[in-house]
Structure 1
């Protein structure tokens, strides 16, 4: 499996505990201990920098750690912008559900009504796309695709090209029968948003999500835009997209600071688009994930339907991590994570405890291969290491 889009193979596979770390159990009085814990995690995992936000009621802890730029040693700042990867999927899913509310689309509409030449398209529903149960393969695990990302980081992909790459592969299973995390699903949903609204995805996100929630530092960049708004954290990558796994020897070198990661900040994110192209900050994501989980972007009926849609990704373990209509269950939290070259992020809200956790890291994966933000989030939540 390639390193892109880690959620299917890392966080959703690993966040099966609902434990609480000793530091978090004493929150919010233990912010110094939490800071020490994050600082040690950066050191132990060769993570250049991170921003962490934790809040519960009137208590909030927002802190920056490490550096935003390995070359200049610019310190990380709490207001810096990051690419947030697959957290974008929840935004795409939100707009789709808004369009369902408006009567412009139905969850049981078939994909064949909107796209031709999709394997089993006359059986796949919009809900199947949202829930990762379509059986459509993902373009982002193709070795040839990852090689292109390495060799042509400035390449601009169109949604149509991405959909073709995914749908020209054989169907994986009968629609609705299994779970498989496919970015092709969400690129298709992004195309639907543009068709049904008559606006670009950037405009739809701005008008329907960012502006209502006052997310002034969030955006979906245009397909030809590979820049981040100031101030931003530069993004780093160990290995390559095609060959992400470091040898044991290189892992030790990386941890010792003798094998620096590659700066991939300006890799064009058009290949991710509606499946993972958004840019945001810790504060903006906190406001967003709370609305995603508790309401504010959908009417009460649709919000309840969204939360009720979450199903375990493992039929043999009903309490394991799960996925629904553009939303994931991650241990005690609801939200998502995101991973793409240079960046990794986690956003979650526990509706029972009223606790929100945001972690943004400017490294995609630590030398051992796990998402950098997930390493920090798991430690803060007390999820055991593998």
Structure 2
């Protein structure tokens, strides 16, 4: 997983699919953002905007650099860290059902998994547990593992993290790590007695009819159906890295989805259809001192910021081999953008969000 680094994305030819009617200015500005990414060396990019009544899909570049095809409006991508918001939503549903306590020790639900009883469920959701990062280690690299035909269990991932010193005392600081959300996936399974994949499907994917969103099982390394290919600049040159081992990112970053599905998810989340009002307030309230790389204040599985126009954006970002996704919503609009290779110049995230979401 590469959770806060632009990992790959794309461009060369521009295609546009418009459904309904977005303002011309918004469309022009978002298209310009995508084209700038292409000019900066990205292979392809796709942005999906939703304003309640209409959906607009804009693209730049190509889905695969080996041919000149256009990017389709429902092409799937790996959404990486945006998976964490889905996991947080599952946990907060269990909190609302009095099956999990936000301030209860993790030991209550997963005895013996993490040391001591000072790490709470809230600490995991806020990345304040102090648990070290497991991802990226030689035996926990999803692209290398796919090439070597290896999988990784969640327990093994946690064991890798626990083999390193704690980063800080639980609750005393903020440090974004995938380990926190692997433990939360295990917690969902322990409390419900069902697999994380089953809970995700029955609680979120099926009720919202997110037909293009799925969690690949261990060993399923290719993306189903039409999708954008992810690329990385490796020592041997630009390389197709879209084939990865999903058991490594799992509940922290393995979901595959589309802009349309993600926008539907954010609209449902912020309207209270997934997480009840009390828990949603907890979820979307940033913790003091918890700030993501993109400058978003971090709550429970989501980031938030006030855009220059005064509207509040709630969302999450995610980077994994070949893909970087930024996805979220305001009260009136939802926006998802994915790149499939790293541009030479880092994009201005706040400007992109403002162009897509400000009135």
**TM-score of the superposition, structure 1-length normalised?**
0.79
Query: What residue in structure 1 maps to residue 178 of structure 2?
Result: 183
Which residues in structure 2 correspond to 1:145-156 (within 5 Å)? 145=139, 149-150=143-144, 153=147, 154-156=149-151
* Closer/same/farther in 2, CA of residues 331 and 261 from structure 1, 3 Å limit: farther
Equivalent of 2:46, from 43, 47, 51? Answer: 51
* Closer/same/farther in 2, CA of residues 48 and 331 from structure 1, 3 Å limit: farther
1:135-189 superposed Cα distances (whole Å, 9 cap, x missing partner): 11111254x3567844753421111111111122111111111100011110011
Which residues in structure 2 correspond to 1:275-354 (within 5 Å)? 275-313=252-290, 321-332=296-307, 333-351=313-331, 354=332
**1:111 correspondence with 2:124:** no
Deviation larger for 147-156 or 104-113: 147-156
Which residues in structure 2 correspond to 1:58-207 (within 5 Å)? 58-113=53-108, 114-116=110-112, 118-119=114-115, 121-142=116-137, 144-145=138-139, 149-150=143-144, 153=147, 154-207=149-202
Instruction: Give the secondary structure class of the aligned counterpart of 2:234.
Output: coil
* Closer/same/farther in 2, CA of residues 336 and 100 from structure 1, 3 Å limit: same
* Closer/same/farther in 2, CA of residues 206 and 117 from structure 1, 3 Å limit: closer
Cα distance in 2 for residues equivalent to 1:263 and 1:187: 26
Q: Is the 1:111–1:125 Cα contact (8 Å) retained in structure 2?
A: yes
Cα distance in 1 for residues equivalent to 2:302 and 2:30: 29
Instruction: Give the secondary structure class of the aligned counterpart of 2:283.
Output: helix
1:273-318 superposed Cα distances (whole Å, 9 cap, x missing partner): 000000100100001112223321012222222223544426xxxx
Query: What residue in structure 2 maps to residue 361 of structure 1?
Result: 339
1:334-360 superposed Cα distances (whole Å, 9 cap, x missing partner): 110111001110102123xx1221102
Q: Please list every run of 5 or more consecutive structure 1 residues that lacks an aligned counterpart in the other structure.
A: 11-26, 241-258, 315-319
Q: Aligned-pair distance for 1:38? A: 3.4
Cα distance in 1 for residues equivalent to 2:122 and 2:207: 25
Q: Is the 1:201–1:220 Cα contact (8 Å) retained in structure 2?
A: no
Q: Please list every run of 5 or more consecutive structure 2 residues that lacks an aligned counterpart in the other structure.
A: 7-21, 308-312
Cα distance in 1 for residues equivalent to 2:354 and 2:83: 26
After superposition, the CA RMSD in angstroms is 2.6
Instruction: Give the secondary structure class of the aligned counterpart of 2:282.
Output: helix
Query: What residue in structure 1 maps to residue 14 of structure 2?
Result: none
Cα distance in 2 for residues equivalent to 1:330 and 1:41: 24
Q: Is the 2:34–2:45 Cα contact (8 Å) retained in structure 1?
A: no
Q: Aligned-pair distance for 1:367? A: 3.7
Query: What residue in structure 2 maps to residue 24 of structure 1?
Result: none
1:65-115 superposed Cα distances (whole Å, 9 cap, x missing partner): 221111123221110111100000000111011111222211122122314
Bigger share in helix: 1
Instruction: Give the secondary structure class of the aligned counterpart of 1:139.
Output: coil
* Closer/same/farther in 2, CA of residues 212 and 127 from structure 1, 3 Å limit: same
* Aligned residue pair count: 332
Equivalent of 1:239, from 234, 237, 244? Answer: 234
Instruction: Give the secondary structure class of the aligned counterpart of 1:304.
Output: helix
**TM-score of the superposition, structure 2-length normalised?**
0.84
Deviation larger for 297-306 or 155-164: 297-306
Q: Is the 1:149–1:155 Cα contact (8 Å) retained in structure 2?
A: no
Query: What residue in structure 1 maps to residue 3 of structure 2?
Result: 5
* Closer/same/farther in 2, CA of residues 308 and 35 from structure 1, 3 Å limit: closer
Instruction: Give the secondary structure class of the aligned counterpart of 1:52.
Output: strand
Query: What residue in structure 1 maps to residue 353 of structure 2?
Result: 381
